[in-house]
Amino acid sequence: MTSATGIVKDYRYLRHETGHYHPESPKRLESIYKMLEDPEMTGKFAEVKPRVALDEEIEMIHKHAYVKMIAQSAGKDHTYLDADTEASAESYEVAKLAVGGFLNCIDGIARGELRNAFAFVRPPGHHAEASRAAGFCIFNNIAIGAMHAIKVHGMKRVLIVDWDLHHGNGTQHSFYEDPRVVYFSTHQYPYYPGTGALQEIGRGDGQGCTVNVPLKTGPGNAEYLRIFRRVLQPLAFEYMPEIVLLSAGFDIYFRDPLGGMKVTPSGFGMLTRVLMDIAEECCGGRFAVVLEGGYHLGGLTEGIKVVLEEMSGATRVTEADLERLEGEADSSINRTIESVIGQIKPYWTCFQ
């Protein structure tokens, strides 16, 4: 197993145009790429070349008619897909390239060429449903990635963690009845898109495999860490995923214009350490990350830098650091944790 951390970085992702005042602008990736080109960051990561995903790959999650509809936006300056989401002339190609970039990360990890990887792509994906765009998202990168791990690499257990400020409605709905994927989400609630209530725990064979942690505004590093260590970690150790996937939204940063959370860059590093510990314990460190939200450019780049340093082994948060920080959590978060465990307890022996 190699120790390389892969990154997807391609200037074609800037060609998805969203208009001057849209929060999900090309400037987000410009600022990330500029940070990656700093002398202290260059040469540290294996560059993963993206590819354009095939229709049949996208259709593992999305309906054929929907993919065709998005294809018809190609070459048109503006196609309104929903109230927040529009396609520009090149968005269809760029959205397929976003999916393909993430799939190449998963392939590199599954083949042992990469230890872990972070796909810096846009448009983001976790709000995209089987047959509709939503919340700046066109194709659901992470959901397609999970299906790719299952269908191409024969994995039977995939863990998706989503720490974006907003609930990943599209990802949840993709696997709501599917025990091959555990979907774990922390999110501001009630807030866009309105899904992700405590009682949404999956259906049929997938019951207990959707875990929602709806939060009021205010939690910061310590509270998030306690949730990850008290709920996600025991569950993951019981589930034993064959790969860990992360929808990384940096809109829980304390100065994000769209959010009300208080996570700082060091907090992102702590949460990454928990996920890497899970991946190391369960699946040889296999961990793939795809960019979702994050609209404060400074917070976005600082948070990502800390995450990459932890992923690549340039830093390592210790168990003592984690214990100390978790001890600082506001005790009010314990009620939320108990409520979440109460919902999923019948399905997981670790909580019984």
Number of residues in the chain: 352
Q: Taking the alpha carbons of 188, 191, 197, 201 in that order, is the dihedral positive or negative?
A: negative
Q: How many C-beta neighbours within 10 Å does residue 9 have? A: 20
Residue 328: CB partners within 8 Å, gap ≥ 6?
Answer: 222
Residue 228: CB partners within 8 Å, gap ≥ 6?
Answer: 271, 274, 275
- Domain residue ranges of the chain, discontinuous segments joined by +: 5-351
Would you call 127 a catalytic residue per the annotation? yes
What is the value of pTM for the model shown?
A: 0.99
Tokens standing for residue 305: 């830098």
Catalytic residue among 127, 167, 173, 187: 127
- Helix or strand or coil: residue 138? coil
- Helix or strand or coil: residue 27? helix
pLDDT of the residue at 63: 98
**pLDDT tens over the chain, length 352 residues:** 478 999 999 999 999 999 989 999 999 999 999 999 999 999 999 999 999 999 999 999 999 999 999 999 999 999 999 999 999 999 999 999 999 999 999 999 999 999 999 999 999 999 999 999 999 999 999 999 999 999 999 999 999 999 999 999 999 999 999 999 999 999 999 999 999 999 999 999 999 999 999 999 999 999 999 999 999 999 999 999 999 999 999 999 999 999 999 999 999 999 999 999 999 999 999 999 999 999 999 999 999 999 999 999 999 999 999 999 999 999 999 999 999 999 999 999 999 9
134 HSE (CA, 13 A, CB side): 18
In angstroms, the CA 108 to CA 116 distance is 8
Contact of 166 with 252, CB cutoff 8 Å: no
3-state secondary structure 222-235: HHHHHHHHHHHHHH
pLDDT of the residue at 3: 81
Q: How many C-beta neighbours within 10 Å does residue 151 have? A: 11
Architecture of domain 5-351: 3-Layer(aba) Sandwich (3.40)
- Helix or strand or coil: residue 47? strand
Contact of 143 with 292, CB cutoff 8 Å: no
Residue ranges of E strands in 192-309: 210-215, 243-248, 287-291
Specify which residues 34 forms β-bridges with.
none
Residue 117: CB partners within 8 Å, gap ≥ 6?
Answer: 5, 6, 7, 8, 46, 48, 105, 106, 108, 109, 287, 288, 289
Q: Taking the alpha carbons of 147, 151, 153, 157 in that order, is the dihedral positive or negative?
A: positive
18 to 80, 82, 156, 182: CA distances (angstroms): 10, 13, 37, 32
Contact of 24 with 17, CB cutoff 8 Å: no
pLDDT of the residue at 92: 98
pLDDT of the residue at 249: 98
